[in-house]
Amino acid sequence: MNGVDFHDMKVRAPDLDRTREEYAEIGAAIQGADDAAACIEAVRRWNECRNAVDTWGALVGLHFNQDTRNPDAKRALEERDEMSPKILELDLELMRKLNASPHRTAVESEIGKHAFDLWEALITTYDPAIESEKIQESRLESEYTELIASGRVDYNGETLTLVELGRYNEDPKRDVRHDVSLLRWGWFQDNAKALDRIFGELVALRTSMARKLGFDDFVELAYRRLQRTDYDRTDVERFRAEVREQVVPLATELRRRQAERIGVDRLMSWDEALRDPQGNPKPQGDHDWMVERAREMFDQMGGGLGEFFRLMVDRNLMDLKSRKNKGGGGFCTSFPDYGVPFIFANFNGTKGDVEVFTHEMGHAFQCYCSRDRFPIDYLWPTAEACEIHSMGLEFLTWPHMGKFFGEDDADRFRGIHLEESLLFLPYGVAIDHFQHLVYENPDATPAERNAFWQEMERTYLPWRDYGDLERPAAGGFWQCQLHVYRYPFYYIDYTLAQTCALQFWKRSEADFAEAMEAYVALCRRGGEAPFQELVRGADLTSPFQSGCLADVVDHARAILGV
Ligand code: ZN
């Protein structure tokens, strides 16, 4: 099914009874296989089913995001969410059978051991004994999202959601920034009880599930859920120490310079989002103009990016314009049956448009390069590796930013992008370290958890000053970070990937062609290997190796003149 236009793609919902029969046959074929070849044949049949299910799931998810008020799209999404866990159970059953197969070693040598490791990780996170807790967990996660979404504050005669209030964070007037911070954190103060209760219940539930599955604590279960097969919490701990030693001093200096630049003698928390008194650079044209500039950019970059981008345009595989009833944010999804990815975004005329676009194009390009990987587990790598493709492309497109912003503003854009990338690292590891403390001490009280977070701020964000903002000054800042509630332990992935992307940045400044070649080769490998193996294969220093950030920090200091 190659060459199909997005609008001609068919949504085929699986028939659950038929799927069950098919899986039963595949399971019997695996168990009855006389040799590895017969086993692999069964894996191919299973792979066809998974391609179809993933294509359906992705199309349904995308259609809903394209029009969240469409009742048919919503119904299809509900149907998918109800059916997916049932199909996952069928998948897990086949994974168990394959892992127990007498031909396992021979199959591994054909399709790679990594797939088996990924399956093993998933298998150990499921058990009928935790089913009701899993349902409660997702209910609490939704409760958090709904509570935050229900947040309203009155400002300037308008009633605003917390997201809408965010547009004042970068207001050039300091008292505006301070006022909206007071309102925002006033809301968190008023809802502190509920936020503490939801989180306390989540920690208890997750800890209980981990223990039922035979783990010491939830940290171990969370790492397995994320299919981390080649590193553990001690590696992550070493990486955090690296950030503390290398990046925190630089970040502190960058914050001091920021205070100078925006003309305040002490940078308060409500000043942090204002990077530049001139305001952020903006793209100089509309959506169609940007697509044209992107075409020029990707043609000049080589490595197959130009051809790939044409394909995305010609087959309508992008939906970038913001419109009413469209879901928020940006993401990349893919349709394995058709061998192509899709990019979704909400352009709003800010520099973020260019960032989201180059970021999601990185994901899409990798996915397209890996479209023929077998089995489907190799279509994408694990999340920390995925974000190298996206964050890496954000840096590799640097030389072309003049096309979007004009040459003068392109320099400002690059400076801000680099500073934000560096400043993100201490915050990212603080969120990660905090979660380790929480789940390693599951009986801590809400006040003790806030004290954990304050310790994180002293360690990683020593410049932070909340002044008269009561709630964050008492340690409650972490409650605004969605991932802490909804995606436990995921946050470190962004910082691991950023550490690798920054290396691509430095290499591309020294030899663009070399960096580009290594980047494309990394994309082509898809998810055939675990994180560190992919990283080393691309000649990058693993974030778990000591000194991993020294080079890029030195280079950044030189470029930024710090
Ligand atoms: Zn991403």
Determine, yes or no, domain membership for 26.
yes
Query: Looking at the predicted structure, is the pLDDT value of residue 117 above 70?
Result: yes
Q: Give the pLDDT score at 170.
A: 87
Query: How many whole angstroms from 262 Cα to the centroid of ligand 1?
Result: 30
Looking at 109, 127, 145, the residue that finishes a domain is: 127
The percent of residues in the chain predicted with pLDDT above 90, rounded, is 91
The percent of residues in the chain predicted with pLDDT above 70, rounded, is 100
Q: Give the pLDDT score at 1.
A: 61
Q: What is the mean pLDDT of the chain?
A: 96
Looking at 127, 144, 168, the residue that finishes a domain is: 127
Query: Looking at the predicted structure, is the pLDDT value of residue 2 above 80?
Result: no
Query: How many whole angstroms from 360 Cα to the centroid of ligand 1?
Result: 6
200-214, 315-329, 415-429, 491-505: least confident range: 315-329
Q: What is the pLDDT of residues 342-365, one digit of tens each?
A: 999 989 888 999 999 999 999 999
Determine, yes or no, domain membership for 535.
yes
Query: Looking at the predicted structure, is the pLDDT value of residue 218 above 80?
Result: yes
Q: What is the pLDDT of residues 37-88, one digit of tens each?
A: 999 999 999 999 999 999 999 999 999 999 988 999 999 999 998 999 899 9
Query: How many whole angstroms from 384 Cα to the centroid of ligand 1?
Result: 9
Q: Give the pLDDT score at 484.
A: 97
Query: How many whole angstroms from 176 Cα to the centroid of ligand 1?
Result: 32
Query: How many whole angstroms from 251 Cα to the centroid of ligand 1?
Result: 23
Q: What is the mean pLDDT of residues 7-34?
A: 97
CATH number where 299 lies = 3.40.390
Q: Which domain holds residue 21?
A: 6-127
Q: What is the mean pLDDT of residues 456-471?
A: 98
Q: Which two tokens stand for residue 182?
A: 């007071």
Determine, yes or no, domain membership for 217.
no
Q: Strand ranges (DSSP E) for 200-330?
A: 318-321
For 437-491, the DSSP string reads HHHHSTT--HHHHHHHHHHHHHHH-TT---TT-HHHHTT-GGGG-HHHHHSTT-T
Query: How many whole angstroms from 478 Cα to the centroid of ligand 1?
Result: 22
Looking at 127, 142, 163, the residue that finishes a domain is: 127
Q: Give the pLDDT score at 10.
A: 94
Q: What is the mean pLDDT of residues 514-519?
A: 98
Determine, yes or no, domain membership for 67.
yes
Query: How many whole angstroms from 108 Cα to the centroid of ligand 1?
Result: 30
Query: How many whole angstroms from 520 Cα to the centroid of ligand 1?
Result: 17
97-111, 299-313, 321-335, 404-418: least confident range: 321-335
Determine, yes or no, domain membership for 100.
yes
Q: What is the pLDDT of residues 235-252, one digit of tens each?
A: 999 999 999 999 999 999
Is the peptide bond preceding residue 375 cis, with omega within 30 degrees of 0? yes
Q: Give the pLDDT score at 142.
A: 87
Determine, yes or no, domain membership for 147.
no
Query: Looking at the predicted structure, is the pLDDT value of residue 538 above 90?
Result: yes
Query: How many whole angstroms from 387 Cα to the centroid of ligand 1?
Result: 5
Determine, yes or no, domain membership for 455.
no
Q: Give the pLDDT score at 249.
A: 98
Q: Give the pLDDT score at 460.
A: 98
Give the C-alpha separation, 100 to 30, whole Å. Answer: 10
Contact criterion met (CB below 8 Å) for 487 and 435: no
Query: How many whole angstroms from 211 Cα to the centroid of ligand 1?
Result: 32
Query: Looking at the predicted structure, is the pLDDT value of residue 208 above 90?
Result: yes
The total number of structural domains that make up the chain: 2
Query: How many whole angstroms from 331 Cα to the centroid of ligand 1?
Result: 7
DSSP for residue 344 = E
Contact criterion met (CB below 8 Å) for 198 and 138: no
Query: How many whole angstroms from 393 Cα to the centroid of ligand 1?
Result: 11
Q: Give the pLDDT score at 323.
A: 85
Q: Give the pLDDT score at 392.
A: 98
Contacts of 325 (CB under 8 A, 6+ apart): 67, 68, 69, 70
Q: Give the pLDDT score at 362.
A: 98
Determine, yes or no, domain membership for 182.
no
